[in-house]
C-alpha cells in the first residue's frame, strides 16, 4: 500500500526528541497514549540485532507520567494496586498491577517514589489520569493528580552502561535494577532509573521539560559513536521472546493479574485496601479460568500480527494468540497468548489456527529469553 495512512495533526503530541528521531531513519510508528511511538528504523530484524549488540536511544515519551502528591497519596495508591507498598522507599521503582473493582487490569505501570507523599505512575497505553482523578474526586482525598511535563528517554543495550558512565560518571555503574537516582547534566538535575522495556540492560532518563532535552540527546549521540549508538525503539521480536506483556495487546481491563501471570506482584497476601481485593481474593482461591503462556509456533516465519488468532484442540477453541514474531536467535516463531487453565492441566502442546492452517505449538511457563543481560564495557 503506497497511500499515506497517518496525517499530521496538532492532536498528535510531539516530544522534545521528535525531530531528532524522525531524522534518524525512522520508517514505522504506532499510536500510543495519543502520541507516536517509533516501532522500526532500518528493519525489525536489523534493529533487533543492533539492540542486542550495541546501544540505542529510545524516545519513549509516550510513557506518560501521572503525578500523585499530597498527604493521602499513600492511601490512594494502596487502593489502586493489590501489591504491598509498605516497604517502598524514596528513589525506588516498582512494577505494579493496577486494578478496578472487578479485579480487571486498568494498567501495568512502573510506580516511581520520588519522596514521601509524591509519586509518578509511569503508565502504559490507557486513561489512568482520568481514572485516578475520578477516585480522588469521588472520595474527596487530599491528593493532587496531574500530568507533569516529563519525557522519558531510554538508553538500552549491552553498551548502555559504558555510554551512561561517559556522560554521568562511574557512580551510575553502581545502580541496581529499579533503582532511581539523581545525576547532574549541564547544571540540571536529572532523575535516572536503572530500567527499561528490554532484557538487554539499560536506563531510563526522566527528562523534565524541553530546556536541555536536545543537548542531552546530542551529547549521548556524540559520545556514543565508538559504541555504535543509534536511535532505536522497543523491538517487537525482543519483547515477545523476553516475555514482556503489552497492555492493550496481551492484556486488557477484562483480564486480572492472575490471568496475566502477574500473581507474584499481588504478594502472598492481597492488600485488603485495594478496591479489587474482594474479586482478586476469590479468584486466587478458585484459580483463573485462563492464563498467559509463552508459545513456540512451528512452521514458516510469522510476521507480527494486528489481530488475534485461535489456539485449538481439534475443533475446540482453548485460547488465543495476541503477539507473535520470528526470533532469529532462537530460530523459531515466538508468541504470547491466553490459554484455558483446564486445558493446561493435561497438555503442553496445542495447535495455532492461522488462516486455514493449523500449526503445532509448544506451551511454556517461561519465555525463551529469561535473563536480564549483563552489560558489556
Q: What pLDDT, on a 0 to 100 scale, did the predictor assign at position 377?
A: 67
C-alpha span between 54 and 62 (Å, rounded): 23
**Grid cell listed for 343:** 486445558
Lowest-confidence segment of 114-118, 304-308, 346-350 by average pLDDT: 304-308
Q: What pLDDT, on a 0 to 100 scale, did the predictor assign at position 5?
A: 58
pLDDT average, residue stretch 203-222: 97
Can you list the domains of the chain with their CATH numbers? 18-63+149-239 (3.30.1360.120), 65-146 (3.30.70.1400), 244-364 (2.40.30.110)
Q: Percentage of the chain surpassing pLDDT 70?
A: 98
Q: What pLDDT, on a 0 to 100 scale, did the predictor assign at position 375?
A: 79
Above 90 in pLDDT, residue 58? yes
- Is the entire prediction scored with pTM above 0.85? yes
Contacts of 160 (CB under 8 A, 6+ apart): 55, 200, 201, 202, 203, 375
3-state secondary structure of 11: coil
Q: Could you please report the per-residue DSSP string of 111-171?
A: EEEEETTEEEEE--SS-HHHHHHHHHHHHT-S-EEE--SEEEEEEESTTHHHHHHHHH-GG
338 neighbors 245 (Cβ within 8 angstroms):
no
Ramachandran angles phi, psi of 341, nearest 5°: -70, -30
77 neighbors 99 (Cβ within 8 angstroms):
no
pLDDT average, residue stretch 340-350: 96
Q: What pLDDT, on a 0 to 100 scale, did the predictor assign at position 2?
A: 39
Amino acid at each position: 500500500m503506497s497511500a499515506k495512512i497517518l496525517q499530521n495533526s496538532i492532536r498528535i503530541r510531539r516530544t522534545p526528541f521528535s525531530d531528532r528521531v524522525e531524522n534518524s531513519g525512522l520508517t514505522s510508528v504506532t499510536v500510543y497514549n495519543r502520541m507516536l511511538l517509533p516501532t522500526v528504523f532500518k528493519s525489525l530484524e536489523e534493529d533487533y540485532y543492533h539492540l542486542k549488540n550495541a546501544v540505542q536511544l529510545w524516545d519513549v515519551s509516550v510513557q506518560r507520567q501521572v503525578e500523585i502528591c499530597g498527604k493521602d497519596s499513600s492511601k490512594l495508591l494502596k487502593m489502586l494496586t493489590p501489591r504491598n507498598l509498605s516497604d517502598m522507599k524514596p528513589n525506588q521503582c516498582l512494577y505494579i498491577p493496577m486494578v478496578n473493582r472487578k479485579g480487571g487490569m486498568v494498567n501495568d505501570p512502573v510506580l516511581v517514589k520520588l519522596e514521601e507523599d509524591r509519586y509518578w505512575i509511569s503508565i502504559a497505553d490507557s486513561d489512568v489520569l482520568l481514572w485516578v482523578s475520578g477516585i480522588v474526586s469521588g472520595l474527596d482525598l487530599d491528593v493532587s493528580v496531574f500530568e507533569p511535563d516529563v519525557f522519558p528517554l531510554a538508553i538500552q543495550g549491552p553498551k548502555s552502561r559504558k555510554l551512561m558512565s561517559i556522560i554521568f560518571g562511574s557512580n551510575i555503574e553502581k545502580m541496581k535494577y529499579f533503582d532511581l537516582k539523581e545525576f547532574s547534566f549541564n547544571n540540571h538535575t536529572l532523575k535516572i532509573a536503572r530500567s527499561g522495556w528490554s532484557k538487554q540492560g539499560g536506563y531510563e532518563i526522566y527528562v523534565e521539560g524541553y530546556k536541555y532535552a536536545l543537548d542531552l540527546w546530542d551529547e549521548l549521540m556524540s559520545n556514543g559513536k565508538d559504541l555504535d549508538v543509534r536511535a532505536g525503539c522497543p523491538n517487537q521480536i525482543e519483547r515477545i521472546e523476553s516475555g514482556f506483556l503489552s497492555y492493550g495487546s496481551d492484556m486488557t481491563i477484562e483480564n486480572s493479574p492472575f490471568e496475566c501471570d502477574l500473581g507474584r506482584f499481588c504478594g502472598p497476601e492481597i492488600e485488603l485496601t485495594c478496591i479489587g481485593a474482594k474479586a482478586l481474593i476469590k479468584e486466587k482461591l478458585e484459580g483463573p479460568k485462563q492464563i498467559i503462556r509463552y508459545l513456540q509456533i512451528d512452521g514458516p516465519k510469522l510476521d507480527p500480527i494486528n489481530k488475534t488468532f485461535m489456539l485449538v484442540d481439534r475443533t475446540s477453541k482453548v485460547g488465543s494468540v495476541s503477539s507473535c514474531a520470528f526470533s532469529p536467535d532462537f530460530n523459531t516463531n515466538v508468541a504470547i497468548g491466553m490459554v484455558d487453565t483446564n486445558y493446561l492441566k493435561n497438555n503442553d502442546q496445542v495447535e495455532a489456527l492461522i488462516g486455514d492452517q493449523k500449526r503445532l505449538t509448544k506451551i511454556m511457563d517461561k519465555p525463551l529469553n529469561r535473563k536480564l543481560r549483563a552489560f558489556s564495557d
